[in-house]
Amino acid sequence: MLSIKDLTVNVNDKQILKGINLEVKAGEIHAIMGPNGSGKSTLSHVLSGKAGYDVTGGTATYQGKDLLAMAPEIRAREGVFLAFQYPVEIPGVSNVYLLKAALNAVRKHNGLDEVDAMDFLTLVKSKVKALEMDEKFLYRAVNEGFSGGEKKRNEILQMAILEPKLCILDETDSGLDIDALKIVADGVNSLRSADRSFIMVTHYQRLLDYIKPDFVHVLAHGQIIKSGEPELALELEEKGYGWLEDAQVGA
Partner 1 sequence: MSAAVHPYISEYSELASLLPGQSLPWLQQLRLDALDAFSVKGFPSPREEEWRYTSVSAIEKKRFAPAVALPRHAIDTGSLKSWQLNDAWSIVLLDGRFSAELSVLDGLPDTVSVMSMADALAKQPEKLQNYLGKAVSHAEHGFIAFNTAWFSDGVWIEVSAKQVLDKPIQILHFATQAETLATTRTVIVVEAQAEANVIETFAGLDSVREGGAVSLSGTGASNAYLSAAVTEVFVAANAGLTLYKVQCESDKAFHFGGTYIKQAKDARLTHHNFAFGGLLARTDIHTDLDQGSECELNGLYLGGKRQHIDNHTRINHLKPNATSRELYKGVLDDRARGVFQGRVIVAEDAQKTDSQMNNRNLLLSADAEADTKPQLEIYADDVKCGHGVTVGQLDEKSVFYMQSRCVDEDTARNMLTFAFANEMVDKIKIKGLHDLVLAQVLARFPQSGINQDWL
Q: Which spans of this chain sit near partner 1 (rule: CB under 8 A)?
A: 48-51, 71-73, 75-77, 81-82, 84, 87-88, 90-94, 96-98, 100-103, 105-106, 109, 141, 158, 162
213 vs 83: CA distance, rounded Å: 17
- For residue 143, the minimal CB distance to partner 1 (Å) is 9
Q: Between 24 and 82, name the residue whose CB sits nearer to partner 1.
A: 82
Residue among 128 and 225 whose Cβ is closer to partner 1:
128
- 99 versus 208: smaller Cβ distance to partner 1: 99
CB of 84 to partner 1, least distance (A): 7
Burial of 251 (0-12, 13-18, 19+ CB in 10 A): exposed
- Among residues 55 and 90, whose Cβ is nearest to partner 1? 90
Cα separation, 184 vs 152, whole angstroms = 7
List the beta bridge partners of residue 24: 2
User: Minimum Å distance from CB 161 to partner 1?
Assistant: 10
For partner 1, the closer of residues 103 and 208 by Cβ is 103
CB of 99 to partner 1, least distance (A): 8
Residue at 60: amino acid letter: A
- Helix axes 148-162 and 178-190, enclosed angle (nearest 10): 0
Smallest distance, partner 1 to C-beta of residue 240, A: 32
**What span, in angstroms and rounded, lies between the C-alpha atoms of 207 and 65?**
31
Closest among 76, 69, 14 to 39, alpha carbons compared = 14
Integer angstrom CA distances of residue 77 from 70, 102, 182 = 10, 8, 28
Smallest distance, partner 1 to C-beta of residue 172, A: 15
* CA 196 – CA 189 distance, rounded (Å): 11
Give min distance, CB of 100 to partner 1, in A. Answer: 5
CA-based Rg of the chain, rounded to a whole angstrom? 18
- For partner 1, give the closer residue by CB, 2 or 208: 2
Compute φ and ψ for 211, nearest 5 degrees: -120, 110
C-beta closer to partner 1: residue 45 or 226: 45
